[in-house]
A = this chain, B = another copy of it.
Amino acid sequence: MSGWMAAASSSWVAVDPSSHFSLHNLPYGIFSTAANPTPRPGVAIGDNVLDLSAVAQAGLFSGPVLSSSSQCFQQPTLNSFMSLGRPAWLEARHTVQRLLLHLPVGYHGRASSVVVSGTDVRRPWGQVQQAAGQAPAFLPSSQLDFELEMGCFIGTGNELGSAIPAAQAAHHIFGWVLANDWSARDIQRWEYVPLGPFNSKNFGTSISPWVVTPQALEPFARPAPPQHDPAPLPYLQQPQRSNYDVALEVAVQPAGGCAGETVVARSNLRTLYWTMPQMIAHHTAGGCNLRPGDMLATGTLSCEGPLGAGCLLEATWNGSRPVELSDGSKRTYLEDGDTVVMRGCCQGDGYRVGFGECRGTVLPARPL
């Protein structure tokens, strides 16, 4: 599951409260997978394993000890890593924590390609590497994925050079939508170091058509996942952190119309580790100004449970365990003609506050 490295970058990994392997634990072990049977070091987090050999290969161990010694993670035992001593052990823990926890990791997307529910989305072309060590080729993505997210529209912004404190940030939120951050995993894998996603994300983002206000959502506020190890830096501390209890689902419907929808993911906005006010505080911490109409998305909303993965990358264990649809067909990634439908809803006492749906059909890549 080297692919899980990418999932880790979403800065939130769902861990059941009863798990021994919480984010406070981070124990080391040796593991292998069907897709890659080479035994190698990893860190257990809930039911997942963070592949340290992949972290090393991506050059993410950048501290003074491990930057020149990260081959210790390309070994079938932990001995080599153990022998490096405490500075290396602390460095490795901090790197893993940083990947998972220290800062909300974000990137700037393109506003031009945000489209409303019902708009078809064309499969993108891009540079992909077909086999390790090979030169890239320019091809239609063969690993087109959805990402179950929610988007938040900024109402009132801030002046350039000022910042929005985490405690005040909620007042700047005009409202919320469902968001599908379509992602081309093969393009992403090739391009994302060191400047982040570009062509793998910029070809389209779908949102639901109605902006639901905080006033409507307030009755559904619930405490956010706790944060104390590490404690957030002061600028990220928000009193009474909460998220809305929005039940979310993703369904896929193949082309043709005979087959019905199959729900492939169920999650909830409650699982968000960095709340939107914290993300706004982070975005503006350096003085960057937000403006009315700017949209911030949550990142993939995954949670525990058999359908808890918010994207196919995670649901199919990096393409190694296909998902089955109701017509018997299987998916590792999306096929042309597939329609992805996201829905989200808060259940009140005899009423609902919901988002309608966010729907998009995959069109074939344009001819070259």
A contact set with B: CB distance below 8 Å: 6, 9, 58-60, 62-65, 87, 90-91, 94, 98-99, 102-103, 105-110, 112-113, 115, 122, 124-127, 132-138, 141, 157, 160-163, 184, 187, 190-200, 202-204, 230, 233-235, 282-283, 285-291, 294, 363, 366
27 contacts between A and B (CB under 8 A): A59-B193, A63-B132, A64-B132, A98-B136, A99-B194, A102-B127, A106-B195, A107-B198, A108-B109, A108-B198, A110-B288, A115-B160, A122-B160, A122-B161, A124-B285, A125-B286, A125-B287, A126-B285, A127-B233, A136-B233, A162-B366, A192-B196, A193-B193, A194-B196, A196-B197, A203-B287, A203-B288
Of all chain B residues, the one with the shortest Cβ separation from A157 is B112
Cα of A141 to Cα of B124 in the assembled complex, Å: 38
Most buried by B among A137, A141, A184, A289: A289
Contacts of A195 in B (CB 8 A): 9, 105-107, 192, 196-197
User: Are the C-beta atoms of B124 and A291 separated by less than 8 Å?
Assistant: no
Of all chain B residues, the one with the shortest Cβ separation from A188 is B194
Cα of A14 to Cα of B125 in the assembled complex, Å: 30
Chain B nearest CB from A97 CB (Å) reads: 8
Cα of A30 to Cα of B108 in the assembled complex, Å: 27
Contacts of A135 in B (CB 8 A): 94, 102, 230
Cα of A103 to Cα of B194 in the assembled complex, Å: 12
Contacts of A127 in B (CB 8 A): 102-103, 233, 285
Of all chain B residues, the one with the shortest Cβ separation from A233 is B138
Cα of A194 to Cα of B57 in the assembled complex, Å: 13
With contacts A63-B132, A136-B103, A196-B197 taken as known, whether A287 is within 8 angstroms of B191 at the C-beta atoms is no
Shortest beta-carbon contacts, A-B, top 9? A196-B196, A124-B286, A122-B161, A202-B288, A107-B195, A199-B286, A63-B132, A195-B196, A203-B286
User: Are the C-beta atoms of A187 and B286 separated by less than 8 Å?
Assistant: yes
Of all chain B residues, the one with the shortest Cβ separation from A287 is B203
User: Are the C-beta atoms of B87 and A138 separated by less than 8 Å?
Assistant: no
With contacts A58-B193, A58-B194, A112-B291 taken as known, whether A94 is within 8 angstroms of B285 at the C-beta atoms is no
With contacts A363-B161, A366-B161 taken as known, whether A138 is within 8 angstroms of B187 at the C-beta atoms is no
Kindly list 14 other residue pairs between chains A and B, CB separation below 8 angstroms, not including A108-B110, A125-B286, A194-B196.
Answer: A62-B193, A87-B133, A94-B134, A99-B193, A103-B127, A103-B190, A110-B289, A112-B289, A124-B288, A141-B286, A161-B363, A199-B285, A202-B286, A204-B287
Contacts of A234 in B (CB 8 A): 138
Chain B nearest CB from A185 CB (Å) reads: 13
User: Are the C-beta atoms of B107 and A64 separated by less than 8 Å?
Assistant: no
Give the contacting residue for A122; candidates B115, B132, B187, B287; CB below 8 A. Answer: B287
Of all chain B residues, the one with the shortest Cβ separation from A363 is B161
Give the contacting residue for A112; candidates B103, B125, B126, B288; CB below 8 A. Answer: B288
User: Are the C-beta atoms of B192 and A63 separated by less than 8 Å?
Assistant: no
Contacts of A137 in B (CB 8 A): 233
Contacts of A65 in B (CB 8 A): 132-133
Contacts of A108 in B (CB 8 A): 109-110, 198, 202
With contacts A194-B58, A195-B197, A366-B161 taken as known, whether A138 is within 8 angstroms of B287 at the C-beta atoms is no
Contacts of A62 in B (CB 8 A): 193
Cα of A210 to Cα of B98 in the assembled complex, Å: 43
Contacts of A126 in B (CB 8 A): 285-286
Cα of A124 to Cα of B162 in the assembled complex, Å: 9
